[in-house]
């Protein structure tokens, strides 16, 4: 547990906030004046590093262990944020998994796991969060540019799950519009993280701009969607991939 001096008025929860894009989103939202809860699955050390960075900058953060395949854990994470900070204004659903394989080799276990985390888990996180949001709340999902078109023959199931998220966002935007809650989706292309470090040069060759994105690039878009400048936007999927899906 993990507190700094409390001077923020708004609260965000980032599912999958201990590494990569999620960690960058936590730090950016904290700089924007949010107190931030973040979930992790199996790396409490990484989560604590994010919390420590937020506290060192004068913010307030709380790390929570929660598997996004577990509906009870998702609801508990929301409840812990509410108990700790007293409200919830923004939820960022970044938790997700990647499984690759051709159709003949893709196992039922992997299919179920991807859909459980990347689709069911996203819906459950949103459902749990919006139950406690007031007008002007924000829901931000982190999808993928693979929702637009297949980028590899082994990425069918992953792309399918992210296309489902893009469709989900459109429906939930209509559902939640009468309550003044905005729902939007970010679709990153290749981002430089510890997961992509081993094949970063190959990835660069696939991007028209000749470079991969940084986690901060996505965090800036999260910041925009969480702020007042995006008040007239809902149901959108914003692709940020260096032109990869043009």
Give the 3-state secondary structure of 5-54. CCCCCEEEEEECCCCHHHHHHHHHHHHCCEEEEEEECCCHHHHHHHHHHH
Q: What are phi and psi of 109, to 5 degrees?
A: -60, -45
Nearest by Cα to 230 from 189, 178, 173, 161 = 173
Which of helix, strand or coil describes residue 184? strand
CA distances (Å), origin 120, targets 32, 49, 112: 30, 28, 10
Q: Active-site residues: which are they? A: 158
Q: What are phi and psi of 97, to 5 degrees?
A: -130, 155
Contacts of residue 9, Cβ cutoff 8 Å, sequence gap at least 6:
33
């Amino acid at each position: 547990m993990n507190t700094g001096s409390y001077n923020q008025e708004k609260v965000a929860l980032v599912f999958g906030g201990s590494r990569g894009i999620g960690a960058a989103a936590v730090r950016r939202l904290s700089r924007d004046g949010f107190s931030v809860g973040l979930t992790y699955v199996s790396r409490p050390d990484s989560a604590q590093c994010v919390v420590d960075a937020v506290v060192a900058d004068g913010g307030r953060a709380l790390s929570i262990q929660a598997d996004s395949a577990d509906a009870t854990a998702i609801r508990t994470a929301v409840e812990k944020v509410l108990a700790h900070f007293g409200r919830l204004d923004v939820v960022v659903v970044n938790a997700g998994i990647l499984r690759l394989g051709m159709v003949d080799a893709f196992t039922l276990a992997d299919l179920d796991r991807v859909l459980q985390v990347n689709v069911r888990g996203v819906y459950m996180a949103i459902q749990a969060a919006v139950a406690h949001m007031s007008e002007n709340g924000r829901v931000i999902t982190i999808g993928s540019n693979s929702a637009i078109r297949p980028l590899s023959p082994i990425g069918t199931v992953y792309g399918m799950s992210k296309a489902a998220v893009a469709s989900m966002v459109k429906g939930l935007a209509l559902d939640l519009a009468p309550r003044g809650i905005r729902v939007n989706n970010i679709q990153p292309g290749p981002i430089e993280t510890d997961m992509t470090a081993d094949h970063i040069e190959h990835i660069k060759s696939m991007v028209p701009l000749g470079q991969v994105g940084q986690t901060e690039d996505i965090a800036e878009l999260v910041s925009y969607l969480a702020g007042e400048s995006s008040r007239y936007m809902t149901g959108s999927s914003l692709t940020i991939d260096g032109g990869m899906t043009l």
